[in-house]
């Protein structure tokens, strides 16, 4: 990895990369089917290996996807950790979307997440965005 790319991911300049964010962006922005990306995300974020994700896991995914995307586009001012930023608003909107679709304490396995992704306009729009980014990056 060259120094410029490394510095994007080493946002706190401590010489280390947040592996969760890095793997998240690699999964989300890699070429491949949305179904496969969702499966990889579930495997990565199912820390307790129960076969499903709870609201805290889904929130953590959203936070990492947004943070990683912000880093990738080098707009750190939009990090979800900054109140009122675009990342913060997107993070809150995602969490609200989960609550509206699954209630306050969801437990979602791969089947439920795949069904939601195939029906949700917001999820489809996000993955369409990642495909456009992929095409632009790989065509350079």
Which range (17-31, 44-58, 111-125) has the least confidence? 17-31
Residue 7 lies in a domain: no
Give me the number of domains the chain comprises: 1
Whether residue 11 has pLDDT greater than 80: no
Q: Is 107 helix (H, G, I), strand (E, B) or coil?
A: strand
**CATH code at position 73:** 1.10.238
Residue 2 lies in a domain: no
Residue 84 lies in a domain: yes
Residue 23 lies in a domain: yes
Average pLDDT for 107-116? 90
- What is the domain range of residue 98? 18-128
Whether residue 106 has pLDDT greater than 70: yes
Residue 30 lies in a domain: yes
pLDDT in tens, 68-84: 888 878 888 898 999 99
Q: What is the mean pLDDT of the chain?
A: 85
Whether residue 3 has pLDDT greater than 80: no
Residue 123 lies in a domain: yes
pLDDT (0 to 100) of residue 6: 73
Residue 58 lies in a domain: yes
Average pLDDT for 27-32? 85
Q: What is the DSSP string of 40-105?
A: HHHHHH-TT-SSSEEHHHHHHHHHHHHHHHHHHTT-GGG-TTSTTSHHHHHHHHHHHHHHHHH-SS
Residue 138 lies in a domain: no
pTM: 0.80
């Amino acid at each position: 990895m060259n120094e410029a790319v490394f510095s994007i991911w080493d946002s706190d300049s401590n010489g280390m990369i947040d592996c969760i964010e890095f793997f998240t962006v690699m999964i989300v922005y890699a070429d491949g089917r949305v179904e496969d990306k969702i499966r990889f995300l579930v495997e990565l974020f199912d820390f307790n290996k129960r076969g499903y994700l709870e609201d805290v896991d889904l929130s953590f995914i959203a936070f990492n996807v947004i943070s990683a995307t912000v880093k990738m586009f080098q707009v750190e001012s939009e990090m979800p950790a900054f109140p009122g930023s675009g990342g913060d608003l997107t993070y809150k909107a995602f969490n609200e979307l989960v609550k509206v679709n699954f209630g306050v304490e969801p437990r979602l396995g791969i089947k439920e997440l795949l069904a939601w992704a195939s029906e949700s306009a917001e999820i489809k729009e996000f993955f369409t965005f990642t495909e456009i980014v992929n095409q632009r990056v790989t065509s350079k």
